[in-house]
Amino acid sequence: MFNPELKPVQPARPGFAVLSIRNWEGEASPVYLSIQRNQDRYFLNDQGEWVGNAFFHQLSLDECDDGYQIVLDKTLVDPLVSNLQMAYQFTLKDDNETQDIGRLRIRDGVLASQAQGQSESLKSTATLNQQAIPPAPVVENSPEPEPIKAPEPIVKPEPIIPEITADEPPYRPTPTPKKSKNGLIFAIILIVILAGVLTWFFLLRGNPAGEPAPEPTPEPSAPAVCSVENMKTGTALAFVQSCLQSQPDSKAIITIIEQAKQNQQCDIAQRLYAYKAQAGDIEIALNYAREYDPASASSQGCFNADKETAIYWYEAVLNHDSQNSEAKTRLEALKK
């Protein structure tokens, strides 16, 4: 297994990087390189696009102190650094049928070509900030306005109260005779009786004694975020993102993957495997390797036996757990 590394060029230049290759035992020129990402197993072509069919780039490597190297431009650099969480498998071969695989490591400082535009934008902003600030306009002193006189308060005349002479006593209205409350009491009693009759008619008669009132039908509960029902709605990517946000453990993930396989949701099963295995979940990565291992792969289903892919994931397990006995044993058997 050779060791490919992507390093920044010196001096750093967005869109360009040095591909360093160590432990390659084949020829330096010509060599043929394929780049495959783990998310959907697509290959990078010479247009910088990910495609479903295998694609090999013809290169000429330069010798250096610790192996070989070659400078790559933005066609290959931009897709590789666009998602640093992605894993990339390199396959290198020459005309003498020497072939090996390696897992790419991207060093800090490798920038996409878009970073050049951002740098120029920052420089432009700094230039604008350094421009002289125009002096503030001089404001001429305007004459002070004359004070406004407050209006004089208006004095209301006092009301004239007519005097009452002793000969004419003040007018007093004749008191209204009190009405009897018997009619009001009778009306209240009548309303109470009518209310009781209506209650009996609508409630007791509509639901005879001895018959229990029907219980309301419970509404169906919403399906869980990682349920089979949710697999069949929306896109596979949306399902995987929402499911992983609920933070299921490794055993739950394996159960969900099995449900996806049984319901022909192969894209969901593959994405769950790739995300968790790439994140360092050893149990998921080991199970993923078994899916491709010719000794344990199923002849029917979402995954087909693939020796190289099984080797890739067994090596990923050993990168996190170097003492894993199953990964060691199967890796030795597959490399014979």
SS3 letters across the chain: CCEEEEEECCCCCCCCEEEEEECCCCCCCCEEEEEEECCCCCEECCCCCEECCCCCEEECCEEECCEEEEEECHHHHHHHHCCCCCCEEEEEEECCCCEEEEECEECCCCCCCHHHHHHHHHHHHHHHHHCCCCCCCCCCCCCCCCCCCCCCCCCCCCCCCCCCCCCCCCCCCCCCCCCCCHHHHHHHHHHHHHHHHHHHHHHHCCCCCCCCCCCCCCCCCCCCCCCHHHHCCCCHHHHHHHHHHCCCCHHHHHHHHHHHHHCCCHHHHHHHHHHHHHCCCHHHHHHHHHHHCCCCCCCCCCCCCCHHHHHHHHHHHHHHCCCCHHHHHHHHHHCC
Least confident of 38-42, 178-182, 209-213, 295-299: 209-213
pLDDT at 170 over 50: no
Q: What is the tens place of the pLDDT at every residue in 127-160?
A: 434 444 444 444 444 444 454 444 454 444 444 4
**Average pLDDT of the residues in 311-327:** 92
Cis geometry, peptide bond prior to residue 214 (ω within 30 degrees of 0): no
Q: What is the tens place of the pLDDT at every residue in 82-123?
A: 877 788 999 999 998 888 999 898 988 888 888 765 444 444
Least confident of 5-19, 195-209, 274-288: 195-209
125 — pLDDT class (breaks 50, 70, 90): very low
301 — pLDDT class (breaks 50, 70, 90): confident
Which is higher by pLDDT, 195 or 243? 243
pLDDT at 215: 57
pTM: 0.42
pLDDT at 298: 85
**Phi then psi for 33, rounded to 5 degrees?**
-120, 130
Instruction: Please name every residue paired with 32 in a beta bridge, in sequence order, or none if there are none.
Output: 58, 93
pLDDT at 164: 41
**Average pLDDT of the residues in 273-287:** 90
Q: What is the tens place of the pLDDT at every residue in 32-76?
A: 999 999 878 899 999 999 998 889 999 999 999 889 999 999 999
